[in-house]
Each structure stands twice: as structure tokens, then as C-alpha cells.
Amino acid sequence: MLSTFPETFATEVKVPALGESVTEATVAKWYKKVGEAVAADEPIVELETDKVTVEVNAPVAGAIAELVVEEGDEVEVGALIAHIDEGAEGSAEAPAEEKSEAKAEEAPAEKKAEKKEEPKAAPAAASAEATTTNSDHPLAPAVRKLVEDKNLDPSKIPATGKDGRLTKGDVLNFLEGGGSASRAAAPAPSAPAAPKPERELRDGEERVKMSKLRQTIARRLKEAQNTAAMLTTYNEVDMTNLLACRNKYKDGFEKKHGVKLGFMSFFIKACTTALKEWPAVNAEIDGNSFIYKNYCDIGVAVGTPQGLVVPVIRSAEEKTFADLESTIVDFGKRARDGKLGMDEMTGGSFTISNGGVFGSLLSSPILNAPQSGILGMHKTQMRPVAIDGKVEIRPMMYLALSYDHRIIDGREAVSFLVRVKECIENPERILLDI
């Protein structure tokens, strides 16, 4: 029996759809404990995917009857994660140890008896069991499908998951390493491979598991380096006129539109102007074809405590300065709160990254695949420059354009960056489209 509350109905809470191509998530944090009251549509758990964090709300009002999974567990879309006793009056707070004890208390005695009898299963079932277990743990649906599709023997794959569980990453790493041991060709079952030993920590060290977001960032950046013929060209831009323009109109702009006038909107407009003239920088490679885009979906890199995310401003070329600044402010706030939607971070055609806000003077950004170009902005710094034969101190910024040389030639890359420079040094060009 799932609940001790009288005259109530147990409602299942399942993992919702997480977005295109996202099939699993990690239980990051439970907001409620067993026995606590919950209102309808109140967040009860936070799930972390490889792109965003998602809150799951209670479908009904009542009390938490059971937490099926624990923090740190990996769950599939559609998986059962909790039960709510609809209509029950729960407590405001539950004992801290209740969550861990609840599952043990609620487990039927029959289930425990079943577990003890499992080793007595008939030998005929041993081969079938080998396809669904690894290190005495059931395989997750995604892992089982991958193992069956590739005809692999799970007992031959080193498992690094919690309690020796086999993860999807373990299978992919096994395949990348040239592993191909099939179930049909596998010898008699042997003891499962032990998890990779972890390095012993020294005094002062702390081990923290990589989040799915950080794992995805690492994987995508490495894939971009391995796939694209990546090259970076540099230039510098005199920010004098842009600073003067901003200082002149910032108060009136904020009064009228309710948002501050920043630099990013000028750079977005400069990039959309240049992308129209050099469309290859806005294109991508798909197999043996080039895909050119008649729109500018600009990704703006935002640093968060969880890692770098890149929300996308759709059709940026059609938006006003006020629209751009409002969107940027909204993205920044929701990115830090982990509230960005999956659809807001996919499908960009070009990316702008501003390392200057953290003090970076010069860097080479890495492409955001499958995009072919990314612009790196940097810190504005007073430097001596030659102006009309005289040395003057000007606010200068280095710009860096990393691009895929497979689709973008050097001439196109340099010309694009020069066009951005011209638009920034003379902001009126953006408005006059010259």
C-alpha cells in the first residue's frame, strides 16, 4: 500500500517530455519530503538534463506518499518518480531521515521475498537476464536499447555508474574504444568488470560529480575541435564613437523603453548587417551540402553557476534595439535561475560570446556546432593608437572571429569582421544600412 492517508487516491508523478532529442535526466533536488503537503502545480522536484534544468510540478493537491527515486538518480522520460495522495493533509515539514526510510518502510514483504529468491531462477533464463542486467543491476531503457541495437554483451562493458550500474556513456565509450563484443560470440558469463578505480584524493581535495550540462559542454566543444577546420581571425575596434552614442542617448532610451542601453545590442545589429553580406558565416555544413539561412538567429553566450548556456534570439535582424536589450536581460536572469526552455537554446545560426564582462583581453572562442562562426568580444581598454599620424589614447576592444574553414574562406571571414568593425566604429551605419 502506497499511502497511510484515509479516503485518498494515489496519483502518479512521471518525468515529463524534456524536449527534442532529450530522453533522460538526473534528479537534482527534491523540494518535498514524504508526508509533506503539496499544492496543485507546486514544484516538487528539479530535474537536470544535458541542456537545462526542469521543474516538475504536482498534478494534484495532497501529500507526498512516496519518492520513487533519489537525488542523483538518472530517470527516463515517462518514468515514475513519486506518488501523491490526492486530498490528503500532509505535514508542513517531515523529518530529515523520513525520505530515506520511507521507501524501506513501504516496500511489501512479498517484494523482499522475491528479491531473495532471484538467484534461484532457472538456468534457461540466464541468457535473457544477461541482456537486462550489469553488475546485478537492471539496465536503464536507453542503455538496454543501445546494447541490443549494437548486439553487445553488457557484462563485457566497464560500468562506472552509481553502485556499479552501466550507463549510456559507458556503452558509448566502449564503442569508441573499438569494443564490439557481441552476446552471440561472448564466452560463458564471467564476473562483471569492476568500475574504474578513482584517484585517491589528497588532503584539501574534493570530488564533485560533473553535471549533465557540464558533460554536454565538454563533449560538444571537443566535437567541434575534432570535426571543424577551425581557424580564428582577429581585429580591433575603436569604441570611441559607440561610447559617445551610448552616453548621449542612454537616459532617454531607458526612460522610454524601461531597459538600459548596452553594448550587446549594437554588436548584434552589426553582426546581422555583416551576415547579410557574407551569408557563408551564417551557414552550416550538412553532410556534403551547405545550408544557407535567410534569417539571423543569434545565440548569446551566458555564464551561469552551472555552466555556459547559449539562448537564441530569433530573427534578430528584425528586432529593434529595445527588443534586443529586453530579450538579453530576460535571458540572463532566467539563465541564472535555470528557467530557460529547451526550445530557447536550440537552432541558432551564429553566436556572440562576451568574455570582456569577466575581464578577458583576448581569446579564441570555440565554435558552437553545427554553426560555422562565432564572434568573441573582449574588454574595452584604453590603449595608445596612431590616429592621423598622431598617438592618441583610445578605448579599444579586440574582436575574434572563429570560423569553419571548410565553408568559410579567409577572405569572407576577414571581410565579415571588418564589416562588424565599421558598424561599431560608426554606429550610424547600422541605422542607415550603409
If you search the block for the grid coordinates 584604453, which residue do you land on?
382
Q: Running DSSP on this structure, what letter comes out for residue 301?
A: -
Q: Residue 309 corresponds to which cell in the numbers above?
A: 548556456
d(CA 331, CA 324): 10
Query: What's the gap between Cα 39 and its chain centre?
Result: 29
Q: Phi and psi (nearest 5°) for 257?
A: -105, -10
DSSP state letters, 196-226: PPPPPPPTT----PPPHHHHHHHHHHHHHHH
Closest to 328 (Cα-Cα) out of 283, 378, 266: 266
Find the catalytic residue in 251, 337, 343, 405: 405
Find the catalytic residue in 170, 251, 409, 433: 409
257 classed as catalytic:
no
Q: Running DSSP on this structure, what letter comes out for residue 36?
A: B
Q: Residue 389 corresponds to which cell in the numbers above?
A: 599620424
Give me the amino acid identity at 183.
R
Task: Kindly compute the dihedral angle of the four CA atoms of residues 239, 244, 246, 250, in this order, to the nearest 10 degrees.
Answer: 160
Closest to 241 (Cα-Cα) out of 423, 433, 392: 423
Looking at the annotation, which residues are catalytic?
405, 409
